[in-house]
C-alpha cells in the first residue's frame, strides 16, 4: 500500500497545452504536446496517447494536470519530460483537468 507520504512526493501541477503535433513514430497513436507550466517550471514536452477522444485543434489552450517530477522518458526519438494525467475510460483516455481556470503551474493540494 502507498502511504500519504508517498503521495506527497508527487509534484502535480496545472499546465496549459500550447502546441500539439502528431507523433507518427510512437508505437501507439499519440500526440507530442508542449505544456506551459508557468514561470517557475516553464514549457515542458510530453507524449500523450489521447488521440481516441481529442483532436489536435481542441487541445490548444486546454488546462491539464501534469506530474512534473518523474524522470524524463525516451519515446522513439522524443524525450517526454512530464506525464499528462488521464483516466482510462471505455472509449479512450480522458484528460484530468481543473473545473475552473487557474494559473499555470498551480500545485495539486
- Report how far residue 71's alpha carbon sits from residue 51's, in angstroms, rounded to the nearest whole number: 24
Give the pLDDT of residue 109: 84
The per-residue pLDDT for range 41-59, each reduced to its tens digit, is: 999 999 999 999 999 999 9
Give the pLDDT of residue 94: 97
Under the banding of pLDDT at 50, 70 and 90, the label for residue 69 is: very high
| Reported pTM | 0.94
Q: What's the sign of the alpha-carbon dihedral 108, 69, 53, 58?
A: positive
- Report how far residue 2's alpha carbon sits from residue 27's, in angstroms, rounded to the nearest whole number: 31
- Report how far residue 33's alpha carbon sits from residue 16's, in angstroms, rounded to the nearest whole number: 10
Place of cell 505544456: 35
Amino acid at each position: 500500500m502507498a502511504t500519504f507520504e508517498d503521495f506527497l512526493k508527487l509534484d502535480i501541477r496545472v499546465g496549459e497545452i500550447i502546441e500539439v503535433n502528431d507523433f507518427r513514430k510512437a508505437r501507439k497513436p499519440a500526440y507530442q504536446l508542449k505544456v506551459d507550466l508557468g514561470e517557475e517550471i516553464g514549457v515542458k514536452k510530453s507524449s500523450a496517447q489521447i488521440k481516441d477522444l481529442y483532436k489536435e485543434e481542441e487541445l490548444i489552450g486546454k488546462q491539464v494536470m501534469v506530474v512534473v517530477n518523474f524522470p524524463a522518458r525516451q519515446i522513439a526519438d522524443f524525450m517526454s519530460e512530464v506525464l499528462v494525467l488521464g483516466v482510462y475510460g471505455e472509449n479512450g483516455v480522458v484528460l484530468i483537468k481543473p473545473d475552473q481556470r487557474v494559473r499555470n503551474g498551480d500545485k495539486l493540494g
